[in-house]
Amino acid sequence: MANETAPDAAKSVIIEPFGEAGGREISLYTLTNKAGMMARITNYGGILTHLFAPDADGRFADVVLGYDTLQDYIDNSPYFGALIGRYGNRIGGASFTLDGKTYALVKSQGENTLHGGKTGFHGVVWDAVPFVADNGQGLTLSHVSPDGDEGFPGTLSVSVTYFLSDNNELQIDYKATTDKATPVALTQHAYFNLSGDLGSPITGHLLRLEADRFTPTDETQIPTGDLAPVKETPFDFRRLRAIGEEIDASDEQLSHGAGYDHNFVLNRKGKGLELAAEVEEPKSGRRMEVLTTEPGVQFYSGNFLDDSYRGKGTVFGKRTGFCLETQHFPDSPNQPDFPSTILKRGDTLRSQTLYRFSTVKNRR
């Protein structure tokens, strides 16, 4: 693998064997920062398997759901911590038309394509190069998805860099190029639980979203095309409040996702990195901010987790983790009014998301 070409850089990124997939040896990379935070990433699916962050008393705990073995990730994972592509979230009817040609995609949820098809980027083996910088440690993952992969046109070259900074930020940089126009929307599917008890419900976490609108869906979770105001709905997270406050309210949109599972339209000022979300866990005092260059964020409250997901000595039942997947809007290839997800030959897709960790003392 490519990482063997960078022995110097690898000196302080710990590399351990993590089994085998698709006839290739898989590794687990441990990034550590000067403040003691630690991120573990495997080149299978680019999965963030562990992330240790301090509470208000300086005690570190793992804040992401995940497994102990590679086989568990292969056998039964709801995309725990994985990189998602070629298209994060859903494409309706598993098809789209581009430049007069209709493409049929591999269906991965009913009639729709979810998270890039059956073998999306969450299930491929990435080439990995670890590195050490002045202000942190990182891992660059790269992958070439062949023309026609899961039905998508164009040879797509993707690289994703995870960087754990000494300021307690996990930064993710995405880059992609293609030899033929194609839709691309990349994201990261970590399930967070900031409490320090990964088997406990996340409904007591406080959430604020920088979003006045969201994209309502039909019952198969495909956007209707509307950008609906969150005001006076259970989707109003413009002020910090508990995720669980209205999660079980009788509401048609909530019923489509069995809770929150919707794309929020971020109130953006420009094109740079802007705050999208903040989350606080009152008991531990852990706080996470999400910044992104993307126009949307999928807030998923872990409604489809169930007792079959077991790892790290616990059971990941319903709503024990939440995701904040920064993204372009679902089904954009079929929605002319949504921001375009078409990457053209000669252009480079660049996208950045940052999960910043800190603590609050006064909320306990």
Catalytic residue among 115, 122, 143, 189: 189
| Site size with ligand BGC, rule: CB under 6 A | 9
Is residue 325 annotated as part of the catalytic site, yes or no?
Answer: yes
Listing DSSP states for 220-246 in one string gives TS-B-S--EE-TTSTT--SS-EETTSS
Q: Is 317 in the site for ligand BGC (CB under 6 A)?
A: no
Residue closer to ligand BGC, measured from CB, 12 or 109:
109
Specify the residue, 128 or 290, whose C-beta has the smaller distance to ligand BGC.
290
Nearest to 275 by CA among 286, 264, 289: 289
Question: Shortest Cβ distance from residue 147 to ligand BGC (Å)?
Answer: 26
Does the footprint of ligand BGC cover residue 322 (CB under 6 A)? no
261 binds ligand BGC (CB under 6 A): yes
Asked if 31 contacts 139 with a C-beta cutoff of 8 angstroms, the reply is yes
Query: Taking the complex as a whole, how short is the minimal distance between the CB of residue 88 and ligand BGC, in angstroms?
Result: 7
Work out which of 30, 77, 89, 253 binds ligand BGC, going by CB under 6 A. Answer: 89
**Residue 325 in contact with ligand BGC, rule: CB under 6 A:** yes
Bridge partners, 355 (sequence order)? 170, 290
Q: How far is the CB of 330 from ligand BGC (least distance, A)?
A: 8
By CB under 6 A, tell whether 284 contacts ligand BGC.
Answer: no
To ligand BGC, the closest distance from the beta carbon of 355 in angstroms equals 16
Residue 77 in contact with ligand BGC, rule: CB under 6 A = no
Among 212, 304, 314, 352, binds ligand BGC (CB under 6 A): 304
Which CB atom, from 131 or from 329, has the smaller least distance to ligand BGC?
329
* Residue keyed to tokens 């493409």: 103
Rounded distance, CA 7 to CA 20, Å? 22
Catalytic (active site) residue 189: yes
How many other C-beta atoms are found inside a 10 Å radius of the C-beta of residue 345? 12
**If 0-12 CB within 10 Å is exposed, 13-18 middle and 19+ buried, where does residue 92 land?**
buried
* Touching ligand BGC, residues 198-257 (CB under 6 A): 221
89 is in an annotated binding site: yes
Check the annotation: does 191 bind a ligand.
yes
121 binds ligand BGC (CB under 6 A): no
Instruction: Give yes or no for residue 341 binding ligand BGC (CB under 6 A).
Output: no
Distances (CA, A) of 207 to 62, 114, 247, 321: 19, 25, 12, 13
Does position 300 interact with ligand BGC (CB under 6 A)? The reply is: yes
User: Does 79 engage in binding with ligand BGC (CB under 6 A)?
Assistant: yes
Alpha-helix residue ranges (DSSP H) falling in 40-177: 70-75
CA 169 to CA 51: how far, in whole Å?
11
Smaller CB distance to ligand BGC: residue 154 or 183?
Answer: 183
* 89 versus 182: smaller Cβ distance to ligand BGC: 89
Nearer to ligand BGC, 5 or 308 (CB): 308
Neighbours of 5 (CB within 10 A): 10
- Which one of the spans 164-172, 177-185, 193-201, 298-306 is the region binding ligand BGC (CB under 6 A)? 298-306
What is the distance between the alpha carbons of residues 251 and 255, in angstroms, rounded to a whole number? Answer: 6
Phi, psi (rounded to 5 degrees) for 31: -100, 140
Residues 238 and 208: beta-carbon distance below 8 Å:
yes
Find out whether 137 and 33 touch, Cβ atoms under 8 Å: yes
CB of 263: closest distance to ligand BGC in angstroms? 8
Residue 312: how many CA atoms within 13 Å on its side-chain side?
Answer: 19
Is residue 115 part of an annotated ligand binding site?
A: no
What is the C-alpha to C-alpha distance for residues 141 and 46, in angstroms, rounded to an integer? 7
CB of 251 to ligand BGC, least distance (A): 17
Pick out the residues of the known binding site for beta-D-galactose: 89-90, 189-191, 261
- So which residues are the catalytic ones? 189, 325
